[in-house]
């Protein structure tokens, strides 16, 4: 039985796992490892420590589908809509640029429900707090080391974490990346920003006419969302949640600052945008060091194969673009490259 490891439990990794399971007739052992404590990657949904039903999307806020991808990736959208994982965005988002023919969707159970759906479909063994540090060749297999626990062996590997994290891996993999590939990978760049989730007690009122708002005049804050309102799941039993995304310049400037300092600065600026906001009962500050791809890998659409036998490839939005369709494109390209080796 072939042993397959997918590193990264974000959209590309989870979709690779689901597609691999669906398209492979022979039995295989499929594992997904992620260094975080839950799945989602940059489509993560945080929960209030006081009420797990009070949630906030700290990464992607909604999914925009263009007419081109509505046709090209129709089966993916149809599946998620049929399962109730996606629904059309109907709540007002002020300052949102809407292009003709675009459709916008939200995930009522939180944006990470997309990833959880694909992981469930894949039947993969999913492990969190598995931080890969080294990949070595051992007798035509891959030996994968992580920060804790013994190394494990696999026949095929797909890396879907941000490209800079691929370049940080130690072991034989450093010699397997050609000079040309290394230059392509080193040219991939990302923007950085912070997200702050605020959780409130049930019955708290946040009286604004919008569910989300793009801010253009603030040096710190770029986007604010009343998250439960955005997802159309307001309830008297569950408190509201607020999500704030900072600007990229703020994120870059404060990248190595403490969460406490960053949170305090965001609160100060939030007071200018939403004065008199009630006190939250819990907060969650998230640093997105690798937020969105600003420069994707050139001349390797969708994926980059680093080794053929045994197979090792990398995929993700670093090889396409930072949106849901970019991740679908990458997963399909990885599967196409992988199918001759499985």
63 and 178 share a domain?
no
Q: What is the pLDDT of residue 14?
A: 98
306 and 206 share a domain?
no
H/E run at residue 285: strand 282-288
Q: What is the pLDDT of residue 109?
A: 96
Q: What is the pLDDT of residue 90?
A: 96
Judge whether 120 lies within some domain: no
198 and 288 share a domain?
yes
Residue 196, C-beta contacts closer than 8 angstroms, at least 6 positions apart: 243, 244, 246, 263, 266, 283, 284, 285, 286
181 and 209 share a domain?
no
**Taking the mean position of all CA atoms in its chain, how far away is CA 162?**
10
Cα–Cα distance list, 74 to 66, 77, 80, 98, 145 (Å): 11, 5, 10, 20, 38
Q: Cα–Cα distance between 235 and 312 in angstroms, integer?
A: 47
Q: What is the pLDDT of residue 320?
A: 97
208 and 158 share a domain?
no
Written as tens digits, the pLDDT of the chain (342 aa) is 999 999 999 999 999 999 999 999 889 999 999 999 999 999 999 999 999 999 999 999 999 999 999 999 999 999 999 999 999 999 999 999 989 999 999 999 999 999 999 999 999 999 999 999 999 999 999 999 999 999 999 999 999 999 999 999 999 999 999 999 999 999 999 999 999 999 999 999 999 999 999 999 999 999 999 999 999 999 989 999 999 999 999 999 999 999 999 999 999 999 999 999 999 999 999 999 999 999 999 988 899 999 999 999 999 999 999 999 999 999 999 999 998 888
19 and 143 share a domain?
yes
Q: What is the pLDDT of residue 114?
A: 98
Q: What is the pLDDT of residue 47?
A: 96
Q: What is the CATH number for 72? A: 3.90.660.10
Domain of residue 324 covers 2-37+128-188+296-339
What helix, strand, coil percent values describe the chain, rounded to 5? 30, 30, 45
Q: What is the pLDDT of residue 98?
A: 87
Q: What is the CATH number for 169? A: 3.50.50.60
Residue 28, C-beta contacts closer than 8 angstroms, at least 6 positions apart: 1, 2, 3, 4, 20, 342
Q: Cα–Cα distance between 135 and 276 in angstroms, integer?
A: 52
Q: Cα–Cα distance between 89 and 66 in angstroms, integer?
A: 14
205 and 280 share a domain?
yes
180 and 268 share a domain?
no
Cis peptide before 310 (omega within 30 of 0): yes
pTM: 0.96
């Amino acid at each position: 039985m072939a042993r397959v490891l997918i590193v990264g439990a974000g959209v590309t990794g989870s979709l690779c796992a689901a597609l691999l399971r669906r398209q492979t007739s022979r039995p295989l052992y499929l594992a997904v490892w992620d260094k975080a404590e839950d799945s989602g990657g940059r489509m993560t949904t945080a929960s209030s420590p006081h009420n797990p039903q009070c949630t906030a999307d700290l990464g992607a806020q909604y999914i925009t589908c263009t007419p081109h991808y509505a046709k090209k990736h129709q089966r993916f959208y149809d599946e998620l809509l049929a399962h109730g994982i996606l629904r059309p965005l109907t709540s007002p988002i002020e300052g949102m640029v809407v292009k003709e023919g675009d459709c916008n969707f939200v995930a009522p159970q939180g944006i990470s429900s997309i990833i959880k759906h694909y992981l469930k479909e894949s039947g993969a063994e999913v492990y969190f707090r598995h931080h890969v540090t080294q990949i070595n060749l051992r007798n035509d297999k891959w030996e994968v080391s992580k920060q804790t626990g013994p190394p494990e062996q696999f026949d095929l590997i797909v890396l879907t974490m941000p490209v800079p994290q691929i370049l940080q891996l130690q072991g034989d993999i450093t010699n397997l990346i050609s000079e040309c590939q290394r230059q392509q990978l080193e040219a991939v760049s990302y923007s950085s920003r912070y997200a702050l989730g605020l959780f409130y007690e049930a019955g708290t009122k946040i009286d604004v006419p919008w569910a989300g708002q793009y801010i253009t005049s603030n040096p710190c804050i770029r986007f604010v969302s009343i998250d439960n309102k955005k997802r159309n799941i307001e309830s008297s039993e569950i408190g509201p949640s607020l999500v704030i995304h900072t600007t990229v310049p703020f994120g870059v400037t404060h990248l190595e600052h403490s969460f406490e300092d960053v949170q305090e600065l965001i609160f100060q600026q939030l007071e200018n945008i939403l004065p008199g906001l009630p006190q939250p009962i819990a907060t969650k500050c998230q640093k997105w060091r690798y937020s969105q791809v600003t420069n994707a890998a050139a001349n390797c659409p969708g994926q980059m194969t680093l080794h053929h036998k045994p197979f090792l490839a990398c995929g993700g939005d670093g090889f396409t673009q930072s949106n849901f369709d970019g991740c679908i494109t990458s997963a399909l390209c990885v599967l196409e490259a992988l199918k001759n080796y499985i």
